[in-house]
Amino acid sequence: QVKIRGIRIELSEIEKSMLEIDKVEEAVVIEKYDASGKNYLCAYYTSIHHISAAVFKDKLTERLPRYMIPSYFIRVDNIPLTPNGKVDRKLLPEPTANITDNTEYIPPTNDTEEKLAKAWKDVLHLQKVSTDSDFFELGGDSLAIMQILTATSRYNWNLGLNDFFELRTIKNIATKIDTQTEAALPEICATDIETIDINEETAYIQTIPDKLNNVLLTGATGYLGSHLLKYLLSRPSTKIYCMIRVRNNTPSVDRLIEKMKFYFNEDCSHFINKRIFIINGDIALDNFGMTENEYSYLAGTLKNVIHSATIVMHFGNYSEFNEVNVNGTKRIIKFALENNIELKHISTLSIFGNYLTNSEMKDKKYNECDFYVNQDYNENVYVRTKFEAENLVLKAMKEGLNATIFRLGNLTGRYDDGHFQENISENYFYNGIRSVVKLGIIPKNFLNMAIDFTPVDCASQAIVIISETKQSNGRVFHIFNHNSLKAYEILRIFVEMGFENIKSLDYDEFKRYIRDISRDEKRKSLLFGFVNEIMSNEEIIYNDNINLGSDITCRYLSKLGFEWPIIDGEYIGKLVKYMQEVNFI
CATH of the domain at 421: 3.40.50.720
Give yes or no: residues 429 and 289 share one domain.
yes
Element (H, E) at 489: helix 487-496
Let me know whether 68 and 129 are in one domain: no
Average of per-residue pLDDT across 491-505: 92
Least confident range from 175-189, 424-438, 458-472, 517-531: namely 175-189
Q: Give me the DSSP letters along 38-95.
A: -EEEEEEEE-SS---HHHHHHHHHTTS-GGGS-SEEEE-SS--B-TTSSB-GGGSPPP
What CATH number is associated with residue 43? 3.30.300.30
Range with the poorest average pLDDT among 75-79, 147-151, 179-183, 365-369 = 179-183
**3-state SS, residue 465:** helix
* Segment 259-307, tens digit of pLDDT: 999 999 999 999 999 999 999 999 999 999 999 999 999 999 999 999 9
DSSP 104: P
212 and 149 in a single domain? The answer is no
* CA–CA separation, 432 and 430 (whole Å): 5
The answer to whether residue 526 is domain-embedded is no
What's the total number of domains in the chain? 3
Please give the DSSP secondary-structure letter assigned to residue 445: G
pLDDT of residue 534: 64
- Quick: pLDDT tens for 60-70: 988 887 778 88
Is residue 352 domain-shared with residue 222, that is, in the same domain? yes
In the chain, the percentage of residues whose pLDDT exceeds 70 is: 87
**Residue-number span of the structural domain to which 365 is assigned:** 206-486+546-581
* Range in 75-84, 386-395, 522-531 with the lowest mean pLDDT: 522-531
370 burial type by CB count under 10 A (0-12 exposed, 13-18 middle, 19+ buried): middle
* Neighbour tally for 362: CB within 10 Å: 15
pLDDT band at 43 (very low <50, low <70, confident <90, very high): very high
- Average pLDDT across the chain, whole number: 86
- Alpha carbons within 13 A on the beta-carbon side of 237: 7
- Is residue 286 located within the same domain as residue 432? yes
Could you tell me if 166 and 287 lie in one domain? no
**Interval 208-239: pLDDT, tens:** 766 899 999 999 999 999 999 999 999 998 99
How would residue 313 be classed by pLDDT, with cut points 50, 70 and 90? confident
pLDDT at 405 over 90: yes
Contact 326, 311 (CB under 8 A): no
On whether residue 328 sits in a domain, the answer given is: yes
One-character DSSP codes across 368-433: TT---SSB-TTSSHHHHHHHHHHHHHHHHHHTT--EEEEEE--EES-TTT----TTGGG-HHHHHH
Is 115 in the same domain as 94? no
Contact 408, 564 (CB under 8 A): no
Q: Measure the CA–CA gap between 384 and 389, rounded to whole angstroms.
A: 9
Domain match, 115 and 243 both: no
What is the pLDDT, as a whole number, of residue 183? 47
The Cα–Cα gap between 283 and 309 comes to 8
Task: Name the burial class of residue 212, with classes exposed (0-12), middle (13-18) and buried (19+) by CB atoms within 10 angstroms of its CB.
Answer: buried
pLDDT at site 272: 96
| pLDDT tens per residue, range 12-39 | 899 999 999 988 999 999 988 876 667 7
Q: How confident is the model at residue 389 (pLDDT cuts 50, 70, 90)?
A: very high
What's the CATH code of the domain at 173?
1.10.1200.10
Highest mean pLDDT among 200-204, 352-356, 368-372, 571-575: 571-575
Q: Is residue 571 part of a domain?
A: yes
Most confidently predicted of 181-190, 250-259, 330-339, 420-429: 330-339
Whether residue 288 sits in one domain with residue 151: no
Average pLDDT over residues 110-123: 91
42 lies in a domain? yes
pLDDT confidence bin for 99, thresholds 50/70/90: very low
Looking at the fold, whether 398 and 463 belong to one and the same domain comes out as yes
In a domain, 243, yes or no: yes
pLDDT tier for residue 514 given thresholds of 50, 70 and 90: confident
What is the rounded CA–CA span in Å between residue 145 and residue 120?
Answer: 9
Say if residue 118 is in the same domain as residue 70.
no
pLDDT at site 24: 93
Q: Which of 296, 263, 298, 262 is nearest to 278 (CA)?
A: 298
Final residue of a domain: which of 99, 123, 154? 99
Domain final residue, candidates 71, 99, 127: 99
Same domain for 351 and 213, yes or no, is yes
pLDDT in tens, 329-349: 999 999 999 999 999 999 999
Residue 6, pLDDT score? 58
Q: Is the pLDDT of residue 101 over 50?
A: no
Task: Locate all alpha helices (DSSP H) within 98-169, ordered by sequence.
Answer: 111-124, 142-151, 161-167
Q: With a cut of 50, say whether residue 98 has pLDDT above it.
A: no
What are the DSSP calls for 10-27, one per residue? -HHHHHHHHHTSTT--EE
Q: Tell me the average pLDDT across 431-441.
A: 93
185 in a domain, yes or no? Answer: no
pLDDT at 61: 83
Last residue of a domain, one of 76, 99, 122: 99
pLDDT band (50, 70, 90) for residue 543 = low
Please indicate, yes or no, if residue 105 is contained in any of the structural domains. Answer: no
Structural domain includes residue 503: no
Q: What is the 3-state secondary structure (H, E, C) of 422-433?
A: CCHHHCHHHHHH
